[in-house]
């Protein structure tokens, strides 16, 4: 009998896929702002100068984060309890060690001016707003995925042993009634008679 995945598990995996997508979008946005002429707007918002290496390191970490979230989403959807435990542990560490902290650190006014003009005033704030939105959505999606994995329907799904597939036995008995124990199912000659033997040709 096939075990049906509950809605909580499917939705949790969908949220993990969303986390992976948000991580990729944030990584692309960060590397674009760091490696093009838009870098001065990013530096004006963060207050750092020449932070290309830090952006590259963050881009690499975001890629690993997205890959890990995708793998855990696939394994959780298959009912792997070990993947569920890893998701709960790593997700909790992410929320308490970085996720909630990014919400307060990322949402602030630009550290300095990027120059003169309307674009120089708007772009640093726009960069901060985009990064802040990605951080908020990532934290909410991660928190929702962890809560859904801890609900009772998900718990029963991950602790239900897999059922063997139904099939046919390798050897089928001969058709007809089964003979009593010790008797052959094939006809035998009457008592005292032996089957005729073939004469050998000379």
Tally of domains in the chain: 1
- Tell me what pLDDT residue 175 has: 55
| 127 in any annotated domain | yes
- Tell me what pLDDT residue 131 has: 80
- In this prediction the pTM is 0.68
d(CA 79, CA 5): 8
| 34 in any annotated domain | yes
| 2 in any annotated domain | no
- Tell me what pLDDT residue 108 has: 55
d(CA 59, CA 26): 8
| 168 in any annotated domain | no
- Tell me what pLDDT residue 129 has: 80
| 171 in any annotated domain | no
- Tell me what pLDDT residue 79 has: 86
| 136 in any annotated domain | yes
| 175 in any annotated domain | no
Domain extent, residue 91, equals 20-158
153 — alpha (psi -120 to 50), left (phi > 0) or beta?
alpha
Chain segment 131-166, per-residue pLDDT in tens = 888 888 999 999 999 999 999 998 888 887 655 545
Instruction: State whether the Cα torsion 167-169-172-175 is positive or negative.
Output: negative
| 1 in any annotated domain | no
Which stretches in the chain have pLDDT values below 50? 1, 165, 167-170
- Tell me what pLDDT residue 168 has: 45
- Tell me what pLDDT residue 11 has: 94
Query: Any idea which residue has 């008592």 for tokens?
Result: 191
d(CA 1, CA 111): 61
- Tell me what pLDDT residue 107 has: 57
Nearest to 121 by CA among 110, 132, 130: 110
- If you ran DSSP here, which 8-state letter would residue 107 be given? S
- Tell me what pLDDT residue 166 has: 52
């Amino acid at each position: 009998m096939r075990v049906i995945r509950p809605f909580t598990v499917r939705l949790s995996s969908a949220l993990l896929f969303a986390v992976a997508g948000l991580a990729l979008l944030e990584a692309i946005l960060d590397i674009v702002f760091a490696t093009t002429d838009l870098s001065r707007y990013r530096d004006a918002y963060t207050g750092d100068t020449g932070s290309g290496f830090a952006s590259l390191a963050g881009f690499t970490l975001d890629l690993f984060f997205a890959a890990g979230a995708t793998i855990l989403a696939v394994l959780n959807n298959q009912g792997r309890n070990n993947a569920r435990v890893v998701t709960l542990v790593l997700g909790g560490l992410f929320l308490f060690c970085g996720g909630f902290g990014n919400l307060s650190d990322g949402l602030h006014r630009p550290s300095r001016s990027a120059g003169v003009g309307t674009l120089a005033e708007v772009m640093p704030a726009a960069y901060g707003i985009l990064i802040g939105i990605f951080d908020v959505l990532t934290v909410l999606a991660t928190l929702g995925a962890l809560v859904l994995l801890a609900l009772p329907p998900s718990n029963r799904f991950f602790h239900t042993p897999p059922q063997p597939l139904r099939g046919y036995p390798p050897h089928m008995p001969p058709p007809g009634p089964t003979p009593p124990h010790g008797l052959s199912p094939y006809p035998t000659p009457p008592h005292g008679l032996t089957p005729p033997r073939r004469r050998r040709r000379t």
